[in-house]
Structure 1
Amino acid sequence: MNPRFHAPVALRRTVLQSLLALTLAVPATGALAQQVLRVTAIPDEAPAELARKAAPLVKYLETKLAMKVEFTPVTDYAAAVETLVSRKVDLAWFGGFTFVQASIRSGGKVMPLVQREEDERFRSVFITTDPAVQGLADLKGRDLSFGSPSSTSGHLMPRSFLLQAGVDPDKALRRVAFSGAHDATIAAVAAGKVQAGALNISVWEKFVADKKVDTAKVRVFYTTPAYHDYNWTVHADMPAALRDKLTQAFLTLNKSTPEGKEILELQRATRFVPTQAENYKGIEAAARSAGLI
């Protein structure tokens, strides 16, 4: 055979081998890029507290999932919703109302995986320093602070129970304020900036246990009926295998191990249990009734 025909054949073989190597390399690179689980949470407490709560959970999930886990704080509740809907994060700690907002915003493309056992019967508390305030009706003509406008336990459900009691916050109260977070609501009431505040019962109980609030001065005057609240939610496009591993990682947490005890106590949880979107229909109904969606 004429030697001059050998070069093109060899060249074609080299090119094909290079293309094959490149093709095989691309999925590997893409797979590596996916080995990071991005996590966020609604900023219902101070940033330092959120970071403290997240640190051991991130470490635990990295071990259970065999992948890197990164916690990314957001500035407000709306940002938490948007980052999950736009898939800038993979896992988000939502309140019931932010889950409903994310579900609506995504066209039903988000899935709640687990909630704390406490979230099956969650409550809000109303607090005050005013001796004359003994019930919800006594708030008429006074100043009240909610937390974030998108907070389930710090705004939506307290507002809903006020309306049920015949107290329209926007008409019956002298002023409605929004502190932005549960701990900030306690601070506002304690400092006398408002006569009363509504917040998450678990944050209140944590402040009392840690002696961060003077209960001789600030007291609970009303505790709401129970409702479903917080959950860990993922985008529905997350692969089923990863969803299952993530769910099992939460469900297997228990206080019999030092690691599990630390995480559950920081999350203010007895344990995590499975949840589903249907559990938050009551939250959606309350939001619609209050004109918030």
Structure 2
Amino acid sequence: MTMPDPTRSSLVRGFAGALLAAACTWLAPVQAQQVLRVTAIPDEAPTELARKAAPLVRYLESKLGVRVEFTPVTDYAAAVETMVSRKVDLAWFGGFTFVQANARSGGKMIPLVQREEDERFRSVFITADPAIKTLADLKGKDVSFGSQSSTSGHLMPRSFLLQAGVDPDRDFRRVAFSGAHDATIAAVASGKVQAGALNISVWDKFVAEKKVDADKVKVFYTTPPYYDYNWTVHAEMPAALREKLAQAMLALSRDNPEGKEILELQRATRFVPTKADNYKGIEAAARSASLL
């Protein structure tokens, strides 16, 4: 009787084990990505965020071949936390929330794409008080920002105020935080505050849709441009999926009905590639204002 070669058997078992381990390693990311979880900073009303997300979710499902779920969060801090803890796979961040998430994760955030508009984004200061014409006129007034973690609704407006020699904490009678851009418009329109700072894109949308009386509430200052929003993923997302996701976003075009609907809801001409270095200016502004 021929006895089995123990060395050969051991090699076979080892080879088989290695193959199994490799297969499990390869399959794990695929299985983990059967659902792509998406979130967004709540810079507008929950109903508006859900409306904007719906066609994008359908589009990504068709392009990626996985189920896509939109997961709303209660505030900006929750958007950062869910991304850092990998409870979601893709997040719509403002520049500041991207910087916060990247710092919290030890540089594990990868910004994939941004709207073309986000390469030169701006904020506006609005008022219903005809006596307010400059940033200096805000001294002694009640002024509303959006969320404390908002790039366009707080950080960058605060930065430009400080550059103009106006310190909100020292010079305003009261600093308010509405929580969202549309809420800032409502606070100014209703007279709860004399002025407010917000995202120019939301302001333009409200004016176009006649959701604000532009004869009463007016823009009196528009900031210089800066980089803002992006779609971000965690560095541990499989590279192949990351690339497929980026290409799907970059392929969106206003030349077809599906792309036109998505881009209009996102208030975008198109999406373009972005990188972490684009947000160094926002990081510097946040550190300068002691907000990071």
Q: Same fold (TM over 0.5)?
A: yes
Aligned residues: 274
Separation in structure 1 between the aligned mates of residue 159 and residue 29 of structure 2, nearest angstrom? 47
Report the counterpart of residue 245 of structure 1 in structure 2. 244
Report the counterpart of residue 186 of structure 2 in structure 1. 187
Structure 1's consecutive aligned runs of 4 or more residues displaced over 3 angstroms after TM superposition are: 23-33
Give 1:221-240 correspondences, 5 Å limit. 221-240=220-239
Report the counterpart of residue 122 of structure 2 in structure 1. 123
Separation in structure 1 between the aligned mates of residue 112 and residue 31 of structure 2, nearest angstrom? 25
Alpha-carbon contact 2:29-2:238 (below 8 Å) kept: no
Shift of the 144–30 alpha-carbon distance from structure 1 to 2, 3 Å rule, reads closer
Alpha-carbon contact 2:144-2:184 (below 8 Å) kept: yes
Separation in structure 2 between the aligned mates of residue 74 and residue 101 of structure 1, nearest angstrom? 16
Residue deviations 1:204-253, cap 9 Å, x none? 00000000000111000000000000000000000110010000001000
Separation in structure 1 between the aligned mates of residue 283 and residue 118 of structure 2, nearest angstrom? 16
Instruction: Please report how far the alpha carbon of residue 33 of structure 1 lies from its aligned counterpart in structure 2 after TM superposition.
Output: 4.6
Separation in structure 1 between the aligned mates of residue 29 and residue 246 of structure 2, nearest angstrom? 24
Shift of the 158–64 alpha-carbon distance from structure 1 to 2, 3 Å rule, reads same
Residue deviations 1:242-273, cap 9 Å, x none? 01000000100000100000000000000000
Instruction: Please report how far the alpha carbon of residue 32 of structure 1 lies from its aligned counterpart in structure 2 after TM superposition.
Output: 3.9
Alpha-carbon contact 2:58-2:68 (below 8 Å) kept: yes
Separation in structure 1 between the aligned mates of residue 156 and residue 237 of structure 2, nearest angstrom? 30
**Please, which moves more after superposition, 29-38 or 262-271?**
29-38
Report the counterpart of residue 106 of structure 1 in structure 2. 105
Give secondary structure in 2 for the equivalent of 1:161. helix
Report the counterpart of residue 136 of structure 2 in structure 1. 137
Give 1:1-293 correspondences, 5 Å limit. 31-293=30-292
Separation in structure 2 between the aligned mates of residue 85 and residue 100 of structure 1, nearest angstrom? 12
Give secondary structure in 1 for the equivalent of 2:130. coil
Instruction: Please report how far the alpha carbon of residue 282 of structure 1 lies from its aligned counterpart in structure 2 after TM superposition.
Output: 0.2
Residue deviations 1:103-124, cap 9 Å, x none? 0000000100000000000000
Separation in structure 1 between the aligned mates of residue 258 and residue 277 of structure 2, nearest angstrom? 31
Q: Over aligned residue pairs, what C-alpha RMSD do you find?
A: 1.8
Instruction: Please report how far the alpha carbon of residue 34 of structure 1 lies from its aligned counterpart in structure 2 after TM superposition.
Output: 2.6
Instruction: Please report how far the alpha carbon of residue 35 of structure 1 lies from its aligned counterpart in structure 2 after TM superposition.
Output: 1.0
Instruction: Please report how far the alpha carbon of residue 84 of structure 1 lies from its aligned counterpart in structure 2 after TM superposition.
Output: 0.6
Instruction: Please report how far the alpha carbon of residue 26 of structure 1 lies from its aligned counterpart in structure 2 after TM superposition.
Output: 7.8
Consecutive unaligned residues of structure 2, counting only runs of 5 or more, are 1-16
Alpha-carbon contact 2:39-2:79 (below 8 Å) kept: yes
Identity of aligned residues (%): 81
Give secondary structure in 1 for the equivalent of 2:44. coil
Q: TM-score, normalised by structure 2?
A: 0.91
Question: If you compute each CA radius of gyration, which structure gives the higher value, 1 or 2?
Answer: 1
Consecutive unaligned residues of structure 1, counting only runs of 5 or more, are 1-19
Give secondary structure in 1 for the equivalent of 2:255. coil
Residue deviations 1:25-60, cap 9 Å, x none? 988798445311000000000000000000000000
Instruction: Please report how far the alpha carbon of residue 166 of structure 1 lies from its aligned counterpart in structure 2 after TM superposition.
Output: 0.3
